Amino acid sequence: MNNRRKKILQELGLTPIWKKRTDSTPESLTSESRETTSATMKDLPASASEVTCDHPVHSMNWDQLKLTVSNCTACALCETRKNTVFGVGDEQADWLFVGEGPGAREDEIGEPFVGQAGKLLDQMLTAIGLKRGSNVYIANIVKCRPPNNRNPSDTEASACEPFLNRQIQLIAPKLIVALGKVSAGNLLNRNDSLSSMRGKVHEYSGIPLIVTYHPAYLLRALPDKAKAWKDLCFAKATMESLL
Ligand code: URA
Ligand code: SF4
């Protein structure tokens, strides 16, 4: 590991960091690579949930979580991503919007919802008196772009789940809005149609959750924009009842 990276990890209290559940250190390894206090890329766990060291994902602070995601190789999406897309916004927001995963533009920039769908999301926020970054946080089910914008697989979504889960714990939003079937399906752990999940207040870890259409879908299905507007009004009314 280069010294700069080691220093950053040390400053964040991340060394020792990765410890696999099974210790299968071969005899042939050099003393440098046998050192359990080093966090090299090849030492990273096969799944984010396998981290069993002093800093498991569920007890990381923001800096630790951001650094961990930026180095994550827990699923195959790490092989094709340009940038991880951690999430953006007010870290104490009442509102959390959760999309599916980064697209091409997000992968380039490292920020969620910056492409065409992002413009529509910004308009959706404006429609209910909200603004990106102000009392709003935006994240995705997976932090790395699925190639060709395919849906993330269940394996990829599960590998990434501890990160979103920790973000949600740290933000402690009052209301989560799941954007689209992939987001809602993963957060609610069900495989129902989007229409059957709309119009109800669900729950994620005790936090109220409302489902609406994904903005990328709305760009292709304009008539459903009216339904999305209805969902947003429902979300706003729900938030008002929570405050
Ligand atoms: N679609 C998503 O679900 N998330 C993004 O960040 C961008 C597009
Ligand atoms: Fe890690 Fe999530 Fe990226 Fe997979 S999608 S490599 S679990 S950050």
Query: Using CA atoms, how far apart are residues 145 and 212, in angstroms rounded to an integer?
Result: 22
Candidate of 81, 100, 120, 145 to mutate for ligand 1, largest count of ligand atoms within 8 Å of Cβ: 100
pTM confidence score: 0.81
Residue 37: Cβ within 10 Å count: 12
Q: Indicate the helix (H) or strand (E) that contains 140.
A: strand 136-140
* Co-location of 227 and 149 in the same domain: yes
* Co-location of 104 and 215 in the same domain: yes
Domain that holds residue 207: 84-242
In a domain, 15, yes or no: yes
pLDDT digits over 42-101, tens only? 444 444 444 434 589 999 999 999 999 999 999 999 999 999 999 999 999 999 999 999
In a domain, 61, yes or no: no
Q: Indicate the helix (H) or strand (E) that contains 18.
A: none
* Residue nearest (by alpha carbon) to ligand 2 atom 3: 144
Tell me if the bond preceding 16 is cis, omega within 30° of 0: yes
Q: Is the CB of 113 under 6 A from ligand 1?
A: yes
* Co-location of 42 and 155 in the same domain: no
